[in-house]
Amino acid sequence: MVADSNPQSKPARRRIIQVLLGGGLLGSFASFIYPVLRYLVPPPVAELGGDQVIAGKIAELKPNSAKIFRFGSRPGLLIRNSDGSYRALSATCTHLGCIVQYHGDVQEIWCACHNGFYDLNGRNVSGPPPRPLEVYEVHLQGDDVLVSRKREA
């Protein structure tokens, strides 16, 4: 840039620099503060949804029935036993990954894809599945049925 030689342009140049610098600094501070302020506001959904989810409401299931719920990125099966208690397992069949279902009449878990059967403890009792289903812990909290993975040390 050319050095200041023209006295008349001095005030004008000064103004430009003032605006540029002042406005720029102000603008940059705003562009830092604005995200920080938005960040500080807690999002509406507070739950992480990782190792623990609300699988449903207490009154939702009748005894001896079940529903599929979402657990992280995989499906889970929440079963309400005939005596009113709950149990929850992974709903991903260990054979080829299909979603299993609950058969109340025989109180077994069945996979429609290749006719695999599991007992209520998740153990694979008949058909192709090579491994048992993972069993989750169920807790009741107020109105909610909470399902969580078994705790590690």
Q: Are strands 74-80 and 86-90 parallel, antiparallel or unpaired?
A: antiparallel
- Which part of the chain contacts another protein (CB under 8 A), choosing from 18-26, 56-64, 80-88, 135-143? 18-26
Closest CA to 71 of 149, 152, 3, 151: 149
Distance of CA 1 to the CA centre of its chain: 56
- Which part of the chain contacts another protein (CB under 8 A), choosing from 57-65, 81-89, 126-134, 139-147? 126-134
CA distance 117 to 132: 10
Q: Is 106 in the site for another protein (CB under 8 A)?
A: no
Q: Please report, as a single letter, which amino acid is at residue 61.
A: L
Minimum Å distance from CB 45 to another protein?
A: 6
User: Which residue's CB is nearer to another protein, number 41 or number 59?
Assistant: 41
- Which part of the chain contacts another protein (CB under 8 A), choosing from 1-9, 57-65, 79-87, 139-147? 1-9
Q: If binding means CB under 8 A, how many residues of this protein chain bind another protein?
A: 49
107: helix, strand or coil: coil
